[in-house]
Each structure stands twice: as C-alpha cells, then as structure tokens.
Amino acid sequence: MIEIDGLTKTFGPIAAVSGINLKVGRGEVLGFLGPNGAGKSTTMKMITGFLAPSSGRVRVCGFDVETQTIGAQRMIGYLPEGAPAYGDMTPRQFLAFIAEVRGYSGSEAKARIGDAVRKTDLDPVLDQPIDTLSKGFKRRVGLAQAVLHDPPVLIMDEPTDGLDPNQKHSVRELLRAMAPRKAIIVSTHLLEEVEAICTRAVIIDRGRIVADGTPAELLARSRHHNAVTLALPPANIDGVKARLKGLSSVASVDQQQRSDGTIELTAFPRSGALLIEDISALATAERWDVKELYAEPGRLDEVFRAITTHDAARAREFRA
C-alpha cells in the first residue's frame, strides 16, 4: 500500500535521504530504526506530503504523493514527531476540527471522535486545554487525531516516545489491534518495541537502508543469537569454562561477574550450531551447581550498533 521508489532528499549539500526503496503492504508493521539524523523523520515527512522529495517518488494506495497529494493524504493517518497539536484547544475541540477537515459531520463525526477517544483512553481529559496535559496524554491526542478516520496507512514518528511503561503498552496494543487491516510504519529508538509489535524492521543510516528483514532475521545476525548463558557460583569456574570450550559446537566463552558474586558464563556457538542441548546435557553429567541456564534469541541493540556507524567512528572518519 506504500510504495517508495528511489526517494532522495537533499538539503543544500547534505543528503538526508538517498535512494530509499521500500514497499509496505497490508498487515505489515514496519519498524523504522536508525540513529538520530539518519533520515527517518525526513522520509516520513515525504511519505505524508509535508516535504517534497528532491527525486524519486512515493505512492500511497495508488496515489502519487506529489501529484495527487490530497488523495494520498486522505489515506494516511500521521503522527508527526512530538505529536504537535493546537495547545489552546481541548482534545474534544481539536478532534472535532480534525473530523471536520476530514469531511465528517453530524452524527458520523461524533461517532468517529468517540471511537478515537475510546481507542486512546482520552476520556478523562477531553475538556482540558491540550497545553495543560501531561506528555502521555498529549501523545495520545496525537494518536487519536491520526486514527480518527480509520486510515488504511498509518505513519507514526516515535509514537511511544516519552510515555511510561503502561502507556507504551497500551499504544502497542492499539497498534497491534489495528495492524491486520493496515500498513503501518513506526519509527522508534526502542528496540524492544520492534520485537514487540513489528513484523518487519528496516534500519536506515545516513539516508540509506542498511538492513531490512523480520525482527527474527535481524536477531539471527546478532553474536548472541543462540548463545547460552549459565549462572554459577564462583568455585571451580575455570574448570567449567574449560569444559565448555571443549565442546565442538562452542566458538568462545565470555565471563562476567554479577553483583552477588555469581559468575555468568556465555557460550557463543559456531555458526548455526544449537548449543542449549549440548550444554544442558554437559551440566547434568558434570553436576554443575547451575543457578540459571538459558539460550538467547539474540540482541537487537548489538545488531543495530554493528550496522549503523558509530558517531565516534564517524567523527574519526571526518577528522581523517
């Protein structure tokens, strides 16, 4: 439902987005990841028609965003970064304005507003000026505005930024509930969010897509993918370590001390090997005093850091 072709945006000499190609279909929740300044927001601004691309094009439900802007914008619910809203209005007035602009009137407008309010739990603050609301409620006003017309395409720039864990949870539930009928793009810094709600993760760095796959595929690229961690008392730790290293499926072992004195050993597999069975069998046979034993699915932050260039590395590169 969203087709992006060779999308490029330059601001003077700086290329904020360079040559992004992307297709998002119904039922997909695409997590848009990347360091600050990678071009996430700029891309979203072009999808929603706020910025015109320098080259390339975006189609939303068949409408070209540049030439059929209004047609495309009707199909989109957009939560801009920071969830801007008119602070002097109450959520009720604000949503009435959005409903009117979206072409609803009378009982239909009322029903739409009621629905959006219910989905975002805005009832308690409906008649307070938006300026006086907490960050969480402000964000929810922005969400309500975006879902009011039940759009087939949702574009959300950091929808859970600044929310407490409960609010994050309810926003994710909301997105999950709507996901099957929509194409959703969510930008975020929270990698756990990607694992929680996204069917697909795209990492962009310096305006280019550097990774595109399901969260599981990305996790598989992590060094910790299928790694096994054991927690043991410090006694005879070297012996345990040596035995672990002796396993043919183990590539290396890391050691870490916890604050309570227990030692955490993490065994990393040779490529593709499944470690958990070997190691649990070994632990039983050797009668190790294992406090914890678990396999890791992989760490997204590790993949993220490996793929996107570090600011420090970038600065060094720049100096050189």
Partner 1 sequence: MKPILAVFKREFAAYFATPLAYVFIVIFLFAMGAFTFYIGHFFENGTADLQVFFGFHPWLYLFLVPAISMRLWAEERRSGTMELLLTLPLRLSATVIGKYLAAWAFTGVALALTFPIWITVNYLGHPDNGVILASYIGSFLMAGAYLAIGACISASTNNQVIAFVVSVVVCFLFTISGAPLVLDFFSAWAPLALVNAISSFSFLTHFTAISAGVIDLRDLIFFLSLIALFLTANVVILDLKKTG
Give me the residues that bind partner 1 (CB under 8 A), please: 9, 11, 45, 48-52, 54, 70-71, 73-74, 76, 78, 80-82, 84-89, 93, 97-98, 100-103, 129, 145
Taking a C-beta distance cutoff of 8 angstroms, is the pair 27, 200 a contact? no
> Would you say 11 or 294 has its CB closer to partner 1?
11
Residue 298: both structure tokens together = 């992989």
CB of 198 to partner 1, least distance (A): 23
> Would you say 76 or 209 has its CB closer to partner 1?
76
For residue 103, what are the β-bridge partners?
A: none
- Between the two ends of the chain, the Cα-to-Cα distance in Å is 43
> Would you say 33 or 109 has its CB closer to partner 1?
109
CB of 155 to partner 1, least distance (A): 9
> Would you say 82 or 297 has its CB closer to partner 1?
82
CB of 94 to partner 1, least distance (A): 9
Taking a C-beta distance cutoff of 8 angstroms, is the pair 147, 79 a contact? no
87 backbone dihedrals φ, ψ, rounded to 5°:
-65, -25
Alpha-carbon distance of 185 to 1, in angstroms, equals 11
CB of 73 to partner 1, least distance (A): 4
Taking a C-beta distance cutoff of 8 angstroms, is the pair 81, 87 a contact? no
In the chain, the amino acid numbered 211 is A
> Would you say 125 or 196 has its CB closer to partner 1?
125
Helices marked H in 33-87: 40-47, 69-75
> Would you say 19 or 97 has its CB closer to partner 1?
97
Helices marked H in 86-227: 91-101, 106-120, 135-147, 165-178, 191-197, 215-220
CB of 273 to partner 1, least distance (A): 49
CB of 159 to partner 1, least distance (A): 15
Query: Which of 153, 159, 183 is closest to 65 using CA atoms?
Result: 153
Please identify which residue in the block is written with the tokens 């756990």. Answer: 192
Taking a C-beta distance cutoff of 8 angstroms, is the pair 82, 160 a contact? no
- Alpha-carbon 240 to chain mean position: 39
> Would you say 97 or 262 has its CB closer to partner 1?
97
What SS3 class is residue 227? coil
Alpha-carbon distance of 218 to 277, in angstroms, equals 23
CB of 189 to partner 1, least distance (A): 19
CB of 190 to partner 1, least distance (A): 21
> Would you say 97 or 273 has its CB closer to partner 1?
97
